[in-house]
């Protein structure tokens, strides 16, 4: 299980760096959601199910959608 944790840590970091580097805003938003999803699993593994639930529900679901809505609205305007 430690190996799985290490792999997930590396994937989380990779997704975070990719979210900064990637060109398209849509891809960046999805990558930020992916970071939250991986992070919530890591929180669960570290024995913090409360934090994991919050991260999964708010980080990867609600804030991703809010970012998507904001992206769509700003794009229409310009």
Partner 1 sequence: MIGRVVTVAVLVGLAVVSWQIVAGGTPAELGDVSRHYVERGVIENRASTLVTSVVVNYRGLDTLGEVAVLFLSVSGVAFVLRRFHGEPSAPPTPSSEIVRTGARLLVGPMLLFGIYIFVHGHLTPGGGFQGGAVIASAVLLLLLAERDRPLPHAFLSWLESTSGAGFVIVGLVGLAVVGSFLANRGVAGLGEWNRLFSAGVIPIVYTLTGLKVGSELATLLDIMMRGERKEGGR
The site for partner 1 (CB under 8 A) is made up of 49-50, 53-54, 57-58, 61-62, 65-66, 69-70, 72-73, 76
Q: Residues 6 or more apart from 26 whose CB is under 8 A from it?
A: 68, 71
d(CA 78, CA 74): 7
Shortest Cβ 52–partner 1 spacing (Å): 8
Instruction: Kindly tell me which of 3 and 47 has the beta carbon lying closer to partner 1.
Output: 47
Instruction: Kindly tell me which of 11 and 65 has the beta carbon lying closer to partner 1.
Output: 65
14 burial (CB, 10 Å; 0-12 / 13-18 / 19+) is: middle
Instruction: Kindly tell me which of 3 and 60 has the beta carbon lying closer to partner 1.
Output: 60
């Amino acid at each position: 299980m430690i190996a799985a944790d290490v792999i997930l840590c590396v994937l989380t970091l990779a997704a975070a760096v990719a979210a900064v580097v990637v060109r398209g805003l849509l891809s960046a938003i999805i990558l930020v959601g992916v970071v939250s999803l991986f992070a919530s699993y890591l929180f669960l593994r570290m024995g913090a199910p409360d934090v994991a639930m919050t991260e999964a529900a708010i980080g990867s679901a609600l804030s991703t959608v809010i970012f998507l809505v904001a992206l769509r609205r700003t794009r229409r305007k310009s």
